[in-house]
A and B are shown apart, each in its own frame.
Chain A
Amino acid sequence: MPHRFGIGVIGCGTIAQSAHLPAIARLRARARLVAVADVRGEAADHAARTWGAEEAYADYHALLARPDIEVVVIATPEFLHAEQVAAAAAAGKHILCEKPMAPSVEEADAMIAAARAAGIKFMVGHSRRFTPRYQAVRAAIDRGAIGQVRMARENERRPRAMYRGLSLATGAWAPDGERAWMADARYSLGAAMLNAIHEVDLLRWFVGDEVTSVYAESRIGDENAEVPDFISIQLRFANGALAGTEVVTNLPHDYPLYHQLEVYGTEGVIRAMDPEMRTYSETTTEGMREPLNFDALLHIDTAYEDELRGLLDAIEQETAVPLPPEEARQAVLLSVAAVWSSQRGQVAHIQPDFNMIETPEGGAA
């Protein structure tokens, strides 16, 4: 009989309820939800009732103190990740941390160091790396279907309804009771981190090389937001390849074409475009809707289940996690570089060792 890992979930907001908690439920043969935690007690209670956790905590330290929890899923906003990963590692828990890994490269490095020091398995959940659509793209690249990748684009467009929390039982958290954390400059860097970190990670994965320079333009479209809900990013890679991504989270409700991926190689092209992947549509007097596109890509598919399974396999078999945290750290670097660039109107050049941004004065940022 396979071992059933005791799981604790820290953070019971949108991504936990729509992705991580359902994935744990589907993996019930190997995972048992023991407890959940959220600073909003009612959100924790709701998640515990809905997904069958034994206990709900408002203080995540109480969850970490439980010996029957071996693995924690951290599904909080990124500004809390460094502290919570350090605490979980110190408590000897294996960790699956939601992306973005951290709002800064320094915090990402500290998280990796904390996990190493504790000897626990640590993985950042870049779910797109586990999404069948993108895995098929990478597999086609790996088997040489298009030769060497020379240019790639991944555009992501989201209706503003998602930006505000997917209309779940508990909406996006407002730490100070004012605006959602993801729209608050004290807690978020905006679209560059919230979504574009997916795209820069995918582009780097598909090109298969490190980035040497980043340029970005961003803007705030939502009058209630303090951080950009739009960003367009250019990437230049060490092997000469170019890539671009345009991410917007403020489109009209029901906009259906979320993802547009194109990868151009020396010998061909790969495309994965939502408009050509219609799986379901509803045509009414109000027009046509395609409500399944977003869900099919992100929440009905097996990505979140597979990333958790990958972590559990690594723990059980004492192997490396399928997505090393160093990969997530490089994605943080690219998103931070995009923010740096868009705020200054300058190209962000990455240092020769691809470790940090090189400032115009020759320093590191």
Chain B
Amino acid sequence: MSATDQPLRVAVLGDGPLTRPMLDALTDRTPGAHVVAVAAEGSTPNPSAITRAMGAEAVCIAAPVADRAGLIVTALEAGIPVCCPAPAAGDLSTLDSLILRAADAGVMVYAPNPLRHWLPLATMHERRRNIGTPLALFAAHRTTRAITGDLFTDLALPLIDVALWLVEAEVERVQVMAERLFSHGPGDGPDSADAALILLRFANGVVATLEVARSLPDNFPQAEEVNVEFLGRDAVLRANPTNQAITVTSASGTMREDWLPHPAVSIIETFVETIRTGATAPQSLLDARWVLPVLEKVRLAATTGEMVRVGGALRR
């Protein structure tokens, strides 16, 4: 076996919802990659140290959003290609800083939106032109109440990205109603919201109705659910990527077992292939540059309670 045929040595950094799916994908589904290090719970991951000690050639970041930018910077300083699921940053200034650092370092940063890697949503995207004149998009991402984190960064931003990806037009205006409805704790107002109804009006007339909420009871059969419907004059496309499961009822109760490949599988496969071929990352930090401005308007609309115009071309 030649050196280039050797499995890619990958380190997985951070303890978040994607840690286990990424490890499973690297271990079971990606023969071209090999996990050499995991820095997760209770550790302070340092990509430089890990790379030196373990000889990692690539880094997958699975940390919570707040920790991602710092991990990307240290990976860039070590000169290691990075896979960091979107959002890599929750605000424009941090994102712009990362973009500049990645360009200076000449290191590839792959920043995929996991939602785009659910097979039903990828299929919807492939077949989006089949619906004729698009009328409207409905998309919901709900999680159980115990899951914490910033609602807008964690849930709204990836869903806005999906909306832009499917509708293929600029957002003209947004309106948001957001509240803390299901959780208790300090803080009030949009910053602590756990539910938001978001309306996006696109330049081509499409209206996207987005719902993001930590509204599912904690004993709900699944920790999260995603529903997307793309309504067109000639067809309606409907994707329910998170309800693909079998149920097993036994003496110990009813268990739910997902069977659809987790997006991490497609993400890791794409990452490894991109490194192997030297291709451009299909979703880079730059791609987030057209989502974050919309998110910032969404936050503004949530704060003011009034409609906010987005205006101007947002894409790079």
Residues of A within 8 A of B (CB): 150-151, 153, 155, 157, 213, 215-219, 221, 230, 232, 234-236, 240-242, 244, 246, 248, 250-252, 255, 257, 264, 266-269, 345-347
Minimum C-beta distance from B229 to chain A (A):
8
Complex Cα distance A94/B136, Å? Answer: 42
22 A-B contacts (beta carbon < 8 Å): A217-B175, A218-B207, A219-B135, A219-B136, A221-B133, A230-B136, A232-B136, A240-B179, A242-B179, A242-B195, A244-B197, A246-B136, A246-B209, A251-B135, A252-B233, A267-B217, A268-B217, A269-B215, A269-B216, A269-B220, A345-B307, A347-B305
In the complex, which residues of chain A have a beta carbon less than 8 angstroms from the beta carbon of B175?
Answer: 215, 217, 234, 347
Shortest 7 CB-CB contacts between residues of A and residues of B: A150-B181, A264-B215, A217-B207, A232-B209, A244-B197, A215-B175, A234-B197
Minimum C-beta distance from B5 to chain A (A):
47
In the complex, which residues of chain B have a beta carbon less than 8 angstroms from the beta carbon of A240?
Answer: 179, 181
In the complex, which residues of chain B have a beta carbon less than 8 angstroms from the beta carbon of A151?
Answer: 181, 195, 213, 215
Complex interface bits, B131-167 against A, C-beta within 8 A gives 1, otherwise 0: 0010110100000000000000000000000000000
How many residue pairs between the two chains, A and B, have CB atoms under 8 Å in the bound complex? 97
B231 at interface by CB-CB < 8 Å: yes
Complex Cα distance A264/B215, Å? Answer: 7
Given contact pairs A234-B177, A268-B217, A347-B307, A242 touches B135 in the complex (Cβ within 8 A): no
B205 at interface by CB-CB < 8 Å: yes
Complex Cα distance A218/B236, Å? Answer: 18
Complex contact A219–B207 (CB within 8 A): yes
B235 at interface by CB-CB < 8 Å: yes
Complex contact B236–A251 (CB within 8 A): yes
Complex Cα distance A218/B235, Å? Answer: 19
B58 at interface by CB-CB < 8 Å: no
In the complex, which residues of chain A have a beta carbon less than 8 angstroms from the beta carbon of B182?
Answer: 150, 264, 266
In the complex, which residues of chain A have a beta carbon less than 8 angstroms from the beta carbon of B133?
Answer: 221
Minimum C-beta distance from A83 to chain B (A):
34
B262 at interface by CB-CB < 8 Å: no
Complex contact A150–B195 (CB within 8 A): yes
Complex contact A215–B307 (CB within 8 A): yes
In the complex, which residues of chain B have a beta carbon less than 8 angstroms from the beta carbon of A232?
Answer: 136, 199, 207, 209
In the complex, which residues of chain A have a beta carbon less than 8 angstroms from the beta carbon of B41?
Answer: none
Given contact pairs A244-B197, A244-B209, A269-B220, A250 touches B177 in the complex (Cβ within 8 A): no
